[in-house]
């Protein structure tokens, strides 16, 4: 077996240094827990950043992947597969939209949505091409999705960037109304902002965005890459708000850990694409779709979604107890379902580091927001451990 120090050395010498890694080499997982090479157990409240929705080594998912790997892992999208057709049917029914397309990641899903929106706008007018997104948003790391991301720090040094994007403050309907005109082809928003600090919109805001898009003949694109797949207590977070987008994008939890992204669009919008207008080599391959079918069947079940809602309420109550215990240190608790954030009065890295030493994996985003996106299978005992550990860590940090 390769020694631990050799793995660190190999990575430092040969892997592009784009991740600020923690000194932890993970070996395997089981349910809500991960284990390192020495067998130490860690309670996982990050889930691969909202990816491992069914936890680790979930037996039906493992069995489906193994069975499909023994039959057909990949074939060209020039041919049909039952796995892809079934996955598309499920996604269309769950979204209430008309057509689905499978990619490999969230960034690719958003790229496809941007292309489709631009082509749809072009059919109405060659000038109808502007896409408005929100400040503090995050939509991916390709050049187009980087430009759509409303955080300048991610774009610095990567110019020239694609044109045709503008930004308004998230949650400000008046600002959006002032920014829109007949050349706006789409508004692109995360239903719940994740990377930007776990920001939840009001019902009135999303309803107004929908009305403004309709008034200007613009599309509403909702990025549910982090908030979808049951994460917020409904299969899609937008179901909380009584609206429906023209395009919705997904990834992260869709394959339960197997890379897959997707976007769904209404039939009228989807008709803007014809053969050759978009494509992918690996997207929607039989292996990924076999995994996605298990995830969708499991997560979309009413009892499963009810569990997510119950655990989200229980976790929020626990986080609120922390805020009551540390009123000067914790500024806010916010989120939806099992996508929750705890805003601190300081940088959160030291708390994340201390929790890791305690056998708890959490994450900090936007500098000072502890983000909790655990596997959707977590139980009260896991949440109790999280809250107890955070109490201990916060008490030790001045």
Domain positions in the chain are 4-58+302-396, 72-299
Q: What is the mean pLDDT of residues 128-153?
A: 97
What confidence score (pLDDT) does residue 124 get? Answer: 97
Q: Single out the residue of 238, 231, 379, 273 nearest to residue 318, CA to CA.
A: 379
d(CA 343, CA 231): 20
Report the percent of the chain where pLDDT is more than 90: 98
Q: What is the mean pLDDT of residues 214-220?
A: 98
User: pLDDT tens, 157-174?
Assistant: 999 999 999 999 999 999
Q: What is the mean pLDDT of residues 59-72?
A: 98
Which of the following CATH numbers is that of domain 4-58+302-396: 3.40.50.720, 3.40.50.2300, 3.90.1150.10, 3.30.565.10? 3.90.1150.10
Rounded to the nearest integer, the mean pLDDT of the chain is: 97
d(CA 70, CA 225): 29
Q: What is the mean pLDDT of residues 328-346?
A: 97
Asked if residue 265 lies in contact with residue 247, where contact means CB atoms within 8 angstroms, the answer is: yes
Return the structure tokens found at 146.
């980087």
398: pLDDT strictly greater than 80: no
In 136-183, the DSSP E strands lie at: 165-168
Report the percent of the chain where pLDDT is more than 70: 99
Q: What is the mean pLDDT of residues 212-239?
A: 98
36: pLDDT strictly greater than 80: yes
d(CA 24, CA 40): 10
Same CATH topology for 4-58+302-396 and 72-299? no
User: pLDDT tens, 263-287?
Assistant: 999 999 999 999 999 999 999 999 9
What confidence score (pLDDT) does residue 3 get? Answer: 80
What DSSP letter does each residue of 172-229 carry, written as one string? Answer: -HHHHHHH--TTEEEEEEESSBSTTT-B---HHHHHHHHHHHHHHT-EEEEE-TTTTT
d(CA 174, CA 167): 13
Confidence of residue 397 (pLDDT cuts 50, 70, 90): confident
What confidence score (pLDDT) does residue 303 get? Answer: 98
What confidence score (pLDDT) does residue 53 get? Answer: 98
Q: What is the CATH number of domain 72-299?
A: 3.40.640.10
What confidence score (pLDDT) does residue 239 get? Answer: 98
d(CA 224, CA 50): 11
331: pLDDT strictly greater than 70: yes
d(CA 84, CA 157): 39
Q: Is 350 helix (H, G, I), strand (E, B) or coil?
A: helix
Q: What is the mean pLDDT of residues 332-353?
A: 98
339: pLDDT strictly greater than 80: yes
Q: What is the mean pLDDT of residues 130-141?
A: 98
1: pLDDT strictly greater than 80: no
């Amino acid at each position: 077996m390769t020694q631990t120090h050799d793995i660190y050395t190999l990575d430092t010498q040969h892997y592009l240094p784009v991740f600020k890694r923690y000194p932890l080499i993970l070996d395997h997982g089981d349910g809500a827990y991960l284990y390192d090479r020495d067998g130490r157990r860690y309670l996982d409240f990050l889930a691969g950043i909202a990816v491992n929705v069914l936890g680790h080594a979930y037996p039906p998912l493992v069995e489906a992947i193994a069975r499909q790997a023994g039959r057909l892992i990949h074939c060209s999208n020039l041919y049909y597969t039952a796995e892809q057709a079934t996955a598309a049917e499920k996604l269309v029914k769950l979204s209430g939209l008309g057509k689905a397309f499978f990619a490999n990641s969230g960034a690719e899903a958003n790229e496809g949505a941007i292309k489709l929106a631009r082509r749809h706008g072009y059919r109405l007018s060659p000038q109808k091409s502007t896409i408005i997104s929100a400040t503090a948003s995050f939509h991916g790391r390709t050049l187009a999705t980087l430009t759509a991301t409303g955080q300048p720090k991610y774009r610095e040094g990567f110019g020239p960037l694609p044109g045709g994007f503008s930004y308004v403050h998230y949650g400000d309907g008046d600002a959006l109304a002032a920014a829109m005109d007949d050349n706006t082809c789409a508004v692109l928003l995360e239903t719940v902002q994740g990377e930007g600090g776990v920001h939840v919109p009001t019902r009135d805001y999303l309803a107004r965005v929908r009305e403004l898009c309709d008034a200007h003949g613009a599309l509403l694109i909702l990025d549910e890459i982090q908030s979808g797949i049951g994460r917020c207590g409904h299969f899609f977070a937008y179901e909380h708000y009584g609206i429906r987008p023209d395009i919705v994008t997904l990834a992260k939890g869709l394959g339960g850990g197997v890379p897959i992204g997707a976007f769904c669009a209404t039939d009228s919008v989807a008709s803007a694409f014809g053969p050759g207008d978009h494509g992918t080599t690996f997207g929607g391959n039989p292996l990924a779709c076999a995994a996605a079918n298990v995830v969708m069947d499991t997560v979309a079940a009413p009892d499963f979604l009810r569990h997510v809602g119950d655990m989200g309420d229980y976790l929020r109550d626990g986080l609120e107890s922390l805020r009551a215990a540390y009123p000067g240190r914790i500024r806010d608790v916010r989120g939806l379902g099992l996508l929750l954030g705890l805003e601190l009065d300081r940088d959160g890295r030291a708390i994340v580091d201390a929790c890791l030493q305690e056998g708890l994996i959490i994450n900090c985003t936007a500098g000072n927001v502890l983000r909790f996106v655990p596997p959707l299978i977590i139980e009260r005992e896991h949440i109790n451990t999280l809250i107890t550990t955070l109490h201990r860590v916060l008490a030790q940090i001045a």
